[in-house]
Amino acid sequence: MSRLDLDPAVVATARALAARAAEPVIALATAHTTVAVERATLRLAGITGADSAHRAGDVPWVNRVVDTVREHCGLEHGAALPVFHALREHDLGSLTELAEATAAGQIHYTLPTGAARARAAKAARGAIGKGLRAVDRSRAQRAKLVARLGDPPRRPWIYLIVATGDIDEDVVQAANAARAGADVIAVIRSTGQSLLDYVPEGATHIGFAGTYATQENFRIMRAALDEVSAELGRYVRLTNYASGLCMPEIAVLGGLQRLDMMLNDSMYGILFRDINPIRTFVDQRFSRQVHARAGIIINTGEDNYLTTDDAVDAAHTVTVSQLLNERFAHEAGLPDELLGLGHAFEINPDVPDSFRLELAHALLARELFPDAPLKWMPPTKHMTGNVFRGYLLDGLFNLAGVLTGQSILLVGMMTEAVVTPWLSDRDLALDNVRYILNAAGNLSEDFHPAKDGFIVKRGNQVLGEAVDLLERIVSGGLLNAIAGGTFGLMKRPPEGGKGADGVVVKADDYLNPAAEMLETGATA
């Protein structure tokens, strides 16, 4: 039963409009590929490592190969056919050997035809299928560990960030955070990594305000959390970021190394990193197919809209984005249980009835998406440096999360947006969460807003405004809405942004065995 007394017909209309708004963008995404999608495909096929012989720094082998294929014969047919044709033609034993020969200028890629095409396609499917089976094994291993060790005994899960820049230091902080009660550890990425059009290799120790997302760093942190999970007798989840110019590749690496959650929003990169809209929508579709295969919960980024726009006036844009993210996710194969839609406690606390407004917005998200593991974000925009006020504000945020049945609670820091939190700040923040969760218990079962009261009226008002906005988006197009500054006040035209030169229109005979197998669930 809806505590907001939502009209099922209005909810159905909202979803139908979101589907109509998303459809042209989905068609656009399926008609294009990108350099990142092709690199992700070859990573599934087993290519690893980097070319360290050049003064410009290490260049991942996968970048070297895809760039050369594009130069020689284009990417509109996909990278898999030219790559596996060259592997056979030059009688090389591995993709790494092929990459080394490519860097040495010994390979000229061509598009095979006839029997050669069939052989290359078969070889590509075999190699990529092996990579997908590794993803499947990681998912099965997670299920076994959860069955043996158990999940946290209550919701919401407590989500805590580490961000030292050094993976070895991150491991220490993550293990201690788990011992102090964190259920999910998020390793923040180094500043600016989302704008790198390559994924660094190896363990890293020089990140800025975060640690580079690499396959080796994923492996190190997952192994460390497995140890502390066994120690604590509960499975501790790991989060990182599948976003930016390498979204598909990082999704693949997360699947291979058994990450449990990844930040993956359909519009965040467009709005807040000025990445080309078409590039983003193509990359997010492939990455979400990987997440669906890997059983990874995605976290979307609607909370960011409320840091650049007013959290009351723009509340309906969060709901619209959630509905669009839901549609894009479902189309890519992600079920509701993997759809960690985002929202946030960001209303100015000086606004009259601000806490009641927060409850209405949070309850609306909970009731629109009852089976989704919603991610509830703490106050940041209105943290002033008064740590006492901030600590109280975080307590109200935690209470709102309990009252409205949120699934994932990011721990708020009283020093948020002022300084990088000390370990003692995190300890106090966890104390705040633990106190609220323990004291409130199952208070959500007793929370029933008055039928004609403020909270119910506000929830229905926001839903009505979301429907109105969706109607305008359907009429004018989602890309035009993004260009006009509808979300977060950011204006991003479809032809602009970083990475636009990495978008390629597919030819009629485009072949990508990874995309085919992700669509069908096949492994060969």
| Structural domain harbouring 58 | 32-128
Query: What pLDDT sits at residue 53?
Result: 57
pLDDT in tens, 389-438: 999 999 999 999 999 999 999 999 888 767 767 778 888 999 999 999 99
pTM attached to this predicted model: 0.95
Last residue of a domain, one of 435, 459, 483: 459
Mean pLDDT across 273-299: 97
- Is the same domain home to 96 and 216? no
- Is the same domain home to 174 and 103? no
Tell me, yes or no, whether 53 lies in a domain.
yes
- Is the same domain home to 296 and 193? yes
- Is the same domain home to 160 and 296? yes
- Is the same domain home to 362 and 454? yes
Buried b (16+ CB within 10 A) or exposed e, 313-325: ebbbbbbbbbbbb
Structural tokens at position 410: 């990011």
- Is the same domain home to 119 and 164? no
Residues of the chain above pLDDT 70, percent: 98
Where would I find the beta strands (DSSP E) of 137-295?
157-162, 184-187, 237-241, 261-263
Query: What pLDDT sits at residue 348?
Result: 96
Active-site positions? 268, 303, 375
Tell me, yes or no, whether 478 lies in a domain.
no
Q: Are 161 and 186 in contact (CB under 8 A)?
A: yes
Assign residue 372 a region: left if phi > 0, alpha if psi is -120 to 50, beta otherwise? Answer: beta
Tell me, yes or no, whether 37 lies in a domain.
yes
Tell me, yes or no, whether 3 lies in a domain.
no
pLDDT over threshold 50, residue 54: no
Strand, helix or coil at 60? strand
Total residues belonging to the chain: 524
Query: What pLDDT sits at residue 421?
Result: 73
pLDDT in tens, 329-339: 999 999 999 99
CA angle 190, 191, 192 (to 5 degrees): 110
Query: What pLDDT sits at residue 56?
Result: 39
Q: Are 242 and 254 in contact (CB under 8 A)?
A: yes
Query: What pLDDT sits at residue 55?
Result: 40
pLDDT over threshold 80, residue 61: yes
pLDDT over threshold 60, residue 136: yes
Structural tokens at position 208: 């800025």
Q: What CATH number does residue 284 fall under?
A: 3.20.20.440
Q: Which residues contact 386 (CB under 8 A, 6 or more apart)?
A: none
Mean pLDDT across 505-510: 97
Q: pLDDT band at residue 171, thresholds of 50, 70 and 90?
A: very high
Q: pLDDT band at residue 511, thresholds of 50, 70 and 90?
A: very high
Structural tokens at position 450: 């008055």
- Is the same domain home to 335 and 431? yes
Query: What pLDDT sits at residue 203?
Result: 94
Query: What pLDDT sits at residue 1?
Result: 61
- Is the same domain home to 101 and 215? no
- Phi first, then psi, for residue 468 (nearest 5°) are -60, -45
Q: pLDDT band at residue 524, thresholds of 50, 70 and 90?
A: confident
In angstroms, how far is the first alpha carbon of the chain from the final one?
45
Q: Which helix (H) or strand (E) holds 377?
A: strand 375-377
- Is the same domain home to 108 and 176? no
DSSP 8-state secondary structure symbol assigned to residue 336: G
Determine the Cα–Cα distance for residues 455 and 452; give it in Å rounded to an integer: 8
Last residue of a domain, one of 459, 485, 514: 459
Last residue of a domain, one of 85, 112, 128: 128
Query: What pLDDT sits at residue 285?
Result: 97
Tell me, yes or no, whether 43 lies in a domain.
yes
Domain count of the fold of the chain: 2
pLDDT over threshold 60, residue 57: no
- Is the same domain home to 211 and 89? no
pLDDT in tens, 447-488: 999 999 999 999 999 999 999 999 999 999 999 999 999 998
Tell me, yes or no, whether 118 lies in a domain.
yes
DSSP 8-state secondary structure symbol assigned to residue 500: G
How high does pLDDT run on average in the chain?
Answer: 94
pLDDT in tens, 210-268: 999 999 999 999 999 999 999 999 999 999 999 999 999 999 999 999 999 999 999 99
Q: Are 263 and 301 in contact (CB under 8 A)?
A: yes
